[in-house]
Amino acid sequence: MTSNNRITHSGINKIDDYVERFSLKMLIPENERQNFKLELKSNVIFSVEKLLSEGVDEELALKTTFDNFGNTDYIENSTNNDISNVKQMNSSAKLIGKLISITLCILLIGMLIQKNRYMPIVAIITIVFCALFMYKDKKIKF
């Protein structure tokens, strides 16, 4: 146990390494990363010092705190899975959008052939949807 419940230099280095690894795996803007690291480090130090004041050995206090705050490998895997899910949802949304556009085009063509009175409304909706999805696919720019 350390005197006065203070963390040793070696312990601080381990905390710094943990905070650095943890922050690099988080999806946060660079301008917020430094504040995040300072806040995380402060919370980790507080937790370790609390355990030290209860008589826990520094190594065990560090391990317990790191386990409580989360394994950095788990965070990376979780983040990668989230990114993969977002990409899949984005692909699905694009496909659905294209299917809606195609359906509206077919409906518009059918109405043109029959000279339906709702044709102008369907034409406007079709143009809006096609423009929207082409804009989302970056094929046109406003």
What is the model's pLDDT at position 83? 61
Q: Which amino acid is at 56?
A: V
Q: What are phi and psi of 85, to 5 degrees?
A: -65, -40
- Supply the pLDDT for residue 15: 92
* pLDDT at res. 52: 92
- From 41, 35, 37, select the one nearest 65 (Cα to Cα): 41
The widest CA-to-CA distance across the chain, in whole angstroms, is: 90
Asked if residue 71 lies in contact with residue 22, where contact means CB atoms within 8 angstroms, the answer is no
Q: What average pLDDT values come out for the chain (142 residues) when binned by 10 residues?
A: 71 91 80 89 92 92 87 54 63 73 73 72 76 64 50
At residue 1, the pLDDT reads 41
Asked if residue 27 lies in contact with residue 79, where contact means CB atoms within 8 angstroms, the answer is yes
Which burial class, exposed, middle or buried, applies to 44 when counting CB atoms under 10 A from its CB (0-12, 13-18, 19+)? buried
Radius of gyration of the chain (CA): 28
pLDDT at 73: 58
